[in-house]
Structure 1
């Protein structure tokens, strides 16, 4: 079953439920990004305090796999309050560790900045009850794997996959979208056993992609421009969706969101890869406006080859 996806903390006030690490020195939120001013009152908040807006942080961390109050507690009630409790502090520390931030357990400026960045809607799944973490040290290569898999490591049982397009709406033409996705599929094909081909939607494709706005009947509504960029489902569901309200681009020099970078990332999910905490990896959750990641990195390549080993 596909993991649940949700909206970014920027727009989480309207949720029904719920790397690039930032190594700059601490500054006020207003001086960093005007979009963060609504969180100024949370900067520096620590365990034991009660402040308006804490519940949105709780919902964000729960949505992306960090916060788990356990079976004995009432999640709905706890997630509705604004108390900074011990469980939230622990979740924040896990989040900070995953994104290579200073692990403080506090809502410091760099943590709030990271949480406000545009990203994929798929959970990071770092909680041990929900994730399959690959932390194997490869002694011969002297590297540590940062890639992750989904619970139970779902995979495809075949290597020839056909894809089709649903609605293509927004700022990028259908022809450009098709070419972008063709290149993204080819990138994964070049480092794995998979081959891909486009077919008409009526031909029962394995993978279907398209552009959608807000609630589009998959249980994971989009949230408008800038926040959640796209989301995907695990094998063998085969769906990945772009938020049609984003300002997409195919230009290497644009300051908007690069469509090919996000397509490459979401296809990784469709094949079974979860989020990596390697900021250089395509499977890293955050895609900043103006950034480009059109080349699979070694962590991405290692991940797909571990998930689908050669015969």
Structure 2
């Protein structure tokens, strides 16, 4: 069943990340100053790969205070500088690409995919999606240099989580939310309940719910404006804020519909943030930042391991 949720399209407007196409093949030394690099820097700053001056708590805030203030000026020019090279390499590492620092076709194609609006890096420009790896015991106890990784989940800075007294959470929908969308989000809550110590019940009063779900457009008052169809799909805040926002300008659907995004799949991802999970570098995990149109996805072992680790649940 297709749900049209304030689906706004314009034949004259391009998807938000379309500008990246013009930068294909750029690298330091070959295109040290190229028009459009400042837009790339804005993109990388938005998702945590370059430092930000913004100290307001938003879903995409990056706390990169260790870099000198003068470095921030480089985010607004078209120079292919060393800071940009480093940011691109970090991005490539997080998305399982070869960390060359070059804007090759594969990297740009990946950057253009619709995704969650929560930043990938949230801790002093060092925390990566891969930083949640837990190291198992050495395969050979005499050799402490050989480890194997067992997970790729990560947490928000400071590991915020819901207190033990709040294992039963209420959720509500902004009045006017289509019933089909509300039902799909409800199923996502049920899936998390089936795999965690949490339980969820729908509240009648949206304003008093622990988790408040709404479909929003553009600047909707949380400091993180949506960008229109084809860019950021949704975002949510870490515990215990409780806000979960979908971009109403996307084409939303229930189930697999070509060119549309499955409400339940995106809800599963954003509820993960609500519970305290950050992004994962495991492509099969629901907490991987990118979500494709015309597809569905469920919880992965990495997601369940992560939430159990955060709340010290032994299974």
**TM-score normalised by L of structure 2:** 0.81
Does the alignment pair 1:252 with 2:256? yes
Residue 161 of structure 1, aligned match among 169, 172, 175: 169
Q: Distance in 2 between matches of 1:130 and 1:96?
A: 14
Question: Which sits farther off after the overlay, 215-224 or 203-212?
Answer: 203-212
Q: Distance in 1 between matches of 2:206 and 2:269?
A: 25
Q: Distance in 2 between matches of 1:127 and 1:246?
A: 30
Map Cα deviations across residues 131-189 of structure 1 (whole Å, 9 max, x no partner): 383221234996521101000000000201001111445xxxx2211211111001111
8 Å CA contact 1:130–1:151 kept in 2: the answer is no
List gaps (5 residues or longer) in structure 1.
1-8, 13-35
Aligned to 1:47: 28
Aligned to 1:303: 306
**Which runs of at least 4 in structure 1 moved beyond 6 Å after TM superposition?**
none
Q: Distance in 1 between matches of 2:135 and 2:241?
A: 31
Aligned to 1:61: 44
Aligned to 2:78: 82
Aligned to 2:182: 178
Q: How many residues align?
A: 274
8 Å CA contact 1:119–1:285 kept in 2: the answer is yes
C-alpha displacement of 1:65: 1.3
**TM-score normalised by L of structure 1:** 0.82
What's the C-alpha RMSD, in Å, of the aligned pairs? Answer: 2.3
Map Cα deviations across residues 6-40 of structure 1 (whole Å, 9 max, x no partner): xxx9526xxxxxxxxxxxxxxxxxxxxxxx4x444
C-alpha displacement of 1:247: 0.3
Question: Which sits farther off after the overlay, 284-293 or 141-150?
Answer: 141-150
Change (3 A) 1:114 1:225: same
Change (3 A) 1:101 1:78: same
8 Å CA contact 2:47–2:119 kept in 1: the answer is yes
Map Cα deviations across residues 44-90 of structure 1 (whole Å, 9 max, x no partner): 11124100010111111111111238542335532110000001101
Q: Distance in 2 between matches of 1:217 and 1:211?
A: 13
Change (3 A) 1:108 1:181: same
C-alpha displacement of 1:110: 1.0
Change (3 A) 1:95 1:282: same
Does the alignment pair 1:279 with 2:286? no
